[in-house]
Amino acid sequence: MIIWAPVFHFYQPPTQFPAVLKKICHESYRPLIDLLGEFERARATVNINGSLTQMLLDCGAQDVVDGLRRLAEGGRIELLGSAMYHPILPLIPEPEIVRQIELNHATNRRAFGDIYTPRGFFPPELAYDAVVADAAQKTGHRWILTSGIACATEWPVGVVHRVEGHADLAVLFRDDIVSNRISFKNIDGFGFIDHLRSLGREEAPTYVVTAMDAETFGHHVSDWERLFLAHVYAQFDQEPKDVPLDLQQRVDLAAQHRQILEVPTPRGRELRVVTATDLLDLFPAGAPTMPRPSSWSTSGDDLARGVPYPLWQDPSNHVQALLWRHLHICLEIVDLATRTAAPDARPYVDIARGLLDRALHSCQFWWASRRPMWDLNMVERGLAEQRAVVINAMKAVTMSKAHGASLEAAEDRCAIAEDLSRRVRRHLLAA
């Protein structure tokens, strides 16, 4: 038996333009939700970051949230835990990691109700290190998903490993190669089915986990939810059968989902599609392992040069370095304002704290990566949120009439932040 656990990641930056979000809902989210409800045996594991959940509600896309909730209530999908504003978790302090996880849980619980009881954890961009495992277990998750390149042991196809030092936290590894082939339209639906049937040993149950952006289907790749996913789920709806499909049945099935099939795919081993948590019950525990610090965009060359999160923090990227220095100043000045604020300054502390939660999002760094993506406006929008953190926190410190070393430290932090902001803008204009 071959068991497939697909994971779909729903996310848009908190700085995304409403018109773009509406376009994505129309092209991707609604068609994908409809498709998951169409096939009787369709199953998937879904991560939707709380920031996107809130954006959907604010932008009049309540039906997308309702659709996901219905799928979860019907057992078609399970919902994962994650971080509210999609920060790169290994690059922020552990208290901020826990805060982001808790904010995410509270937001999605309000939107989805009691059905939102995540057992698995999806680190944004699958960016992993040991502190992420600590936070995932501390917040009550049973398993965590990482990239395939994080696997430091024999590739698991028949066992589910536990994270070393965390006996109650399982780790699932994404098949990076197959996931990327799907994402970049380098394999079709029946080719994927053939690939599944070729996995593992004939007599032993085998599983594979794929994970990709939900926006892959319909937004990044037009009609891909039909041209790929519908074909794959249709095959699972036919399992198990004593009599194999003949060529005409395969042609009819393909035509139904808008693709011409020229060669029939031979049937063989039984296929199942499940939610990812099911894998923990279907397969025995493997040996403890320590996944490598990495992300789902990390290459072997990146690991060799000691850069586990290359699209967000590459030492050779000057804009990213300046953005991170500016963000760390935000963290410092908000901490100072929180500790010294007088009662009448609390509104500014609260504003600064809320803006800081948003300002941790990953996209401003990604758009500055040049691997290959680059967008001046998305970097500037992220920087603008960071600057708003500084001014509100500084206002709180000033109103609190901080004296001596506290006031001097805040003024120094504010001056450095202003200089860093100017330097980022000079780099953006010169690029």
Domains in the chain: boundaries: 2-289, 318-430
**Pair 200, 268: CB distance under 8 Å:** no
Rounded Cα–Cα distance for residues 86 and 99 (Å): 12
Residue of 14, 12, 84, 81 whose CA lies nearest to 45: 81
pLDDT at 239: 60
Report the pLDDT value the prediction gives residue 248, as an integer from 0 to 100.
Answer: 47
Stretch among 45-54, 152-161, 246-255, 400-409 having the lowest mean pLDDT? 246-255
Structural tokens at position 128: 């992993």
Place of tokens 């609190």: 400
Is the pLDDT score of 136 beyond 90? yes
In which band, very low, low, confident or very high, does the pLDDT at 260 lie, cut at 50, 70 and 90?
A: very low
pLDDT at residue 399 is higher than 80: yes
Check pLDDT > 90 for residue 268: no
What is the predicted pLDDT for the residue at 402?
63
pTM here is: 0.91
Closest among 220, 191, 202, 187 to 20, alpha carbons compared: 220
Burial of 33 (0-12, 13-18, 19+ CB in 10 A): buried
Mean pLDDT for 4-20 is 96
CA 406 from centre of chain: 38
Residue pair 70/32 in contact (Cβ under 8 Å)? The answer is no
Mean pLDDT of 375-388: 95
Q: Structure tokens of 332?
A: 């410092």
pLDDT at 28 over 60: yes
Question: Taking a C-beta distance cutoff of 8 angstroms, is the pair 278, 290 a contact?
Answer: no
Residue 308 and residue 89 in contact, taking contact as beta carbons nearer than 8 Å = no
Percent of the chain surpassing pLDDT 70 = 92
Return the pLDDT at 403.
Answer: 66
Q: Looking at residue 313, what is its pLDDT?
A: 98
Q: Averaged over 404-421, what is the pLDDT?
A: 89
How many CA atoms lie within 13 Å of 118's alpha carbon, on the beta-carbon side?
Answer: 31
DSSP, res 215: G
**2-289 fold:** 7-stranded beta/alpha barrel (3.20.110)
What is the arithmetic mean of pLDDT over 370-376? 90
Q: How far apart are CA 216 and CA 184, in angstroms?
A: 8
Q: What is the pLDDT of residue 236?
A: 85
Say if residues 193 and 4 touch (Cβ distance below 8 Å).
Answer: no
Question: How confident is residue 240, by pLDDT bands cut at 50, 70 and 90?
Answer: low
Q: What is the 3-state secondary structure of 345-393? A: HHHHHHHHHHHHHHHCCCHHHHCCCCCCCCCHHHHHHHHHHHHHHHHHH
Least trusted range by pLDDT, from 171-175, 278-282, 341-345, 381-385: 341-345
State yes or no: pLDDT of 252 exceeds 70.
Answer: no
When pLDDT is cut at 50, 70 and 90, the band that residue 139 belongs to is very high
Ranking 83-97, 156-170, 187-201, 320-334 by mean pLDDT, the lowest is 187-201
Closest alpha carbon to 147 in 120, 174, 127, 128: 174
∠ CA(308), CA(146), CA(42), 5° rounding? 145
> pLDDT by residue (tens digit) across 291-329?
999 999 999 999 999 999 999 999 999 999 999 999 999
pLDDT at 259 over 80: no
* pLDDT for position 131: 97
DSSP assigned state of 125: G
Between CA 6 and CA 145 the distance in angstroms is 12
How far is residue 111's CA from residue 248's CA, in Å, rounded to a whole number?
45
DSSP 27: I
At 203-234, the pLDDT tens digits run 789 999 999 999 999 999 999 999 999 999 99
pLDDT at 242: 38
Other CB atoms within 10 Å distance of the CB of residue 279: 22
Whole-number pLDDT of residue 254 = 43
Residue range 250-262: mean pLDDT, rounded:
41
| Average pLDDT score, the chain | 91
Q: Is the peptide bond before 240 cis (omega within 30 degrees of 0)?
A: yes
